[in-house]
Structure 1
Amino acid sequence: MSKQHPIIAVTGSSGAGTTTVRRAFADLFRRLQIQPAWVQGDGFLRHERTAMSAKINAATTQGKRFSHFHPDANLLDKLETLFLEYGQSGSGKTRNYAHDDNEAARFGTQPGKFTPWQALPANTDVLFYEGHHGGFSQSSRKTSKSIQIAEQVDLLLGVTPSVNLEWIQKIHHDCDRSGCGEQLVIETILHRMPDYVDYIVPQFARTHINVQRVPLVDTSHPFVARDVPGADESIVVIHLRDPQHFDFPKLLKKIDGAQMTRRNTMLVPGGKMTLAIEMICTPLIAKMIAARDMVAG
């Protein structure tokens, strides 16, 4: 953690809705005139698409576990190094991963490929990470080596919709993006589940804020659902680890339909999710920047 070079991370599985949270922060940064360094978690995967598929197939044949969520499938030491370096000097290196043709054209590479490693832009105000391992923290039982990514993050958010909703979003997300078949996505979900439980879920106990979208329509059979429940067909549960930092009466007045279900938990209409995130996080980010300016000055 660093007052001079703060780090914000949003963590969750594919299709959970982390991109929606990133867009809320993009609006927040524009309003506060903050220049972020954007970091894509998939840029820290260890293998490109073809090699990753081969690794997964080989592990499956041998009865072993290996998925995008597994630490061995990622360069978590490089991600930790990036966070440490940015916290110390506001610098570091990252790369992007092209998921589809649009991203390939934007990044100047091919689908399923990485861009070269490159330095972060100079003179940014914060680093914003979106991916699977922003709250990862684990010590190896076999060696003395440990990866402590969560400890470097100043503000950590977890995005974790109800399981059936997450599956529906994953199916539609992957089929729309890569054109793969529904059955393949289902197999991917089932294959990843043990690693999701072991390596993604524990991160939500380290977050400062958890955002969980809950559908208000029937999602009991996610594999036959034809549509992703919309914002007006869901509610959002927002859990705040340190409620003393928030002015709940003020938040409830500014977010129509919001209510408290516990002293540290808000319930907001699905259509107010982006507004709620901005309202909750704006004073936190403003405080970060004020602390940074005080140290710099």
Structure 2
Amino acid sequence: MTTQHPVVAITGSSGAGTTSVMRTFEQIFRREKVNAAFVEGDSFHRYDRMGMKEQMEKALACGDHTFSHFGPEANLFEELESLFREYGETGGGRVRRYLHDEGEAAPYRQEPGTFTPWEDLATGTDLLFYEGLHGAVVTDGVDVARHADLLIGVVPVINLEWTQKLHRDKAKRGYSTEAVTETILRRMHDYVTYMCPQFSRTHVNFQRVPVVDTSNPFIARTIPAPDESMLVIRFKDPQGIDFPYLLSMLHDSFMSRPNTIVCPGGKMDLAMQLIFTPMLWRLLERRPRTP
């Protein structure tokens, strides 16, 4: 962790909704005139789309049914930790971009599912903002979490997470329900081993809990709307959190534990704005002033 060059990381599983959270932070950065360096977690996958397909086929041929994007074998954890550490120390680092679709790939004249070349981060940014799967990951040889100044977990209850993933992958990526289900099953070992422990290290967790039936996410026709859910916000360290202010600003909210506030799901964007704007101020104000 550093006072000179803060690192903020949003971490969550596939289908958790981290991209929506990133858009909220984009609004905060624009309003508060914060120049953030954005890093997507997908850019630290080890293999491009075709390479990952080949590695999965090799794993299956060897009887390994757990190889997935969630585990260390498919990711560059060391490089991610180096980026967080280097940015904290110098404000720099090496990054690349994963091109998900034709729209992202066209400006680079590359195929979708490939990586751009590694390049240096732009100089003079105020903070590093990471959004992806592994912002708080820790293994025997890597500790990404210790280099982040603010860690935020986005963790819908698992049936809701699966419902969101099923609908996203079917609508945007053309996958069948069977293909998405197979992916969920294959990732389960790495989900338990590498994903879940991260949310014990995050400083703030946002967990959306539906108040409609999601008991079988594999046949759900729609994703529960924000107003059909409650939002559980857990603070690792409640010291300094102005709970009376948050309760007054978030209508129909209440505290379920000394470090936990619950509010209607439709107020997630407002809750994040209220909570993280002052946190970002404090991170940026801690930086030594240049003479």
Instruction: Give the TM-score, by structure 1 length.
Output: 0.95
How far apart are residue 109 of structure 1 and its match? 2.6
Judging changes above 3 Å, is the alpha-carbon distance between structure 1 residues 3 and 296 closer, same or farther for their aligned structure 2 residues? farther
Question: 2:54 maps to which residue?
Answer: 54
Question: For 1:60 and 1:43, how far apart are their aligned partners in 2?
Answer: 24
Question: 1:43 maps to which residue?
Answer: 43
1:64-119 C-alpha deviation (Å, 9 max, x unpaired): 23100011100111111111110111011111112222222355432111111121
1:166 aligns with 2:167: no
Question: 2:250 maps to which residue?
Answer: 255
Q: For 1:81, what is the secondary structure of its paired residue? A: helix
Question: 1:204 maps to which residue?
Answer: 199
Question: For 1:43 and 1:176, how far apart are their aligned partners in 2?
Answer: 23
In the alignment, is the contact (CA less than 8 A) between 1:158 and 1:211 conserved in 2? yes
Moved more, 54-63 or 81-90: 54-63
How far apart are residue 24 of structure 1 and its match? 1.2
In the alignment, is the contact (CA less than 8 A) between 1:100 and 1:178 conserved in 2? no
Question: 2:13 maps to which residue?
Answer: 13
Q: How does 1:72-221 map to 2 (within 5 A)?
A: 72-105=73-106, 108-139=109-140, 146-221=141-216
1:236 aligns with 2:237: no
In the alignment, is the contact (CA less than 8 A) between 1:104 and 1:111 conserved in 2? yes
Question: 1:63 maps to which residue?
Answer: 63
Question: For 1:100 and 1:168, how far apart are their aligned partners in 2?
Answer: 22
Q: Which amino acid aligns with 2:185?
A: L
Question: For 1:148 and 1:289, how far apart are their aligned partners in 2?
Answer: 24
Judging changes above 3 Å, is the alpha-carbon distance between structure 1 residues 107 and 153 closer, same or farther for their aligned structure 2 residues? farther
1:223 aligns with 2:224: no
Structure 2: runs of 5 or more not aligned? none
In the alignment, is the contact (CA less than 8 A) between 1:100 and 1:177 conserved in 2? no
Q: Which amino acid aligns with 2:166?
A: I
Structure 1: runs of 5 or more not aligned? 140-145
How far apart are residue 46 of structure 1 and its match? 0.5
Q: Which amino acid aligns with 1:262?
A: R
Moved more, 49-58 or 31-40: 49-58
Question: For 1:192 and 1:155, how far apart are their aligned partners in 2?
Answer: 27
In the alignment, is the contact (CA less than 8 A) between 1:236 and 1:273 conserved in 2? yes
Q: Which amino acid aligns with 2:24?
A: A
Question: 2:34 maps to which residue?
Answer: 34
Question: For 1:106 and 1:16, how far apart are their aligned partners in 2?
Answer: 28
Q: Which amino acid aligns with 1:68?
A: H
Q: For 1:244, what is the secondary structure of its paired residue? A: coil
- CA root-mean-square deviation: 1.2
Q: Which amino acid aligns with 2:86?
A: E
Q: For 1:148, what is the secondary structure of its paired residue? A: coil
How far apart are residue 172 of structure 1 and its match? 1.1
Question: For 1:232 and 1:81, how far apart are their aligned partners in 2?
Answer: 40
In the alignment, is the contact (CA less than 8 A) between 1:10 and 1:158 conserved in 2? yes
1:272 aligns with 2:272: no
Instruction: Give the TM-score, by structure 2 length.
Output: 0.97
Question: 1:142 maps to which residue?
Answer: none
Aligned residues: 290
% identical equivalent positions: 50
1:120-167 C-alpha deviation (Å, 9 max, x unpaired): 11110010000111001121xxxxxx2111000000011110111000
How far apart are residue 63 of structure 1 and its match? 2.1
How far apart are residue 181 of structure 1 and its match? 1.3
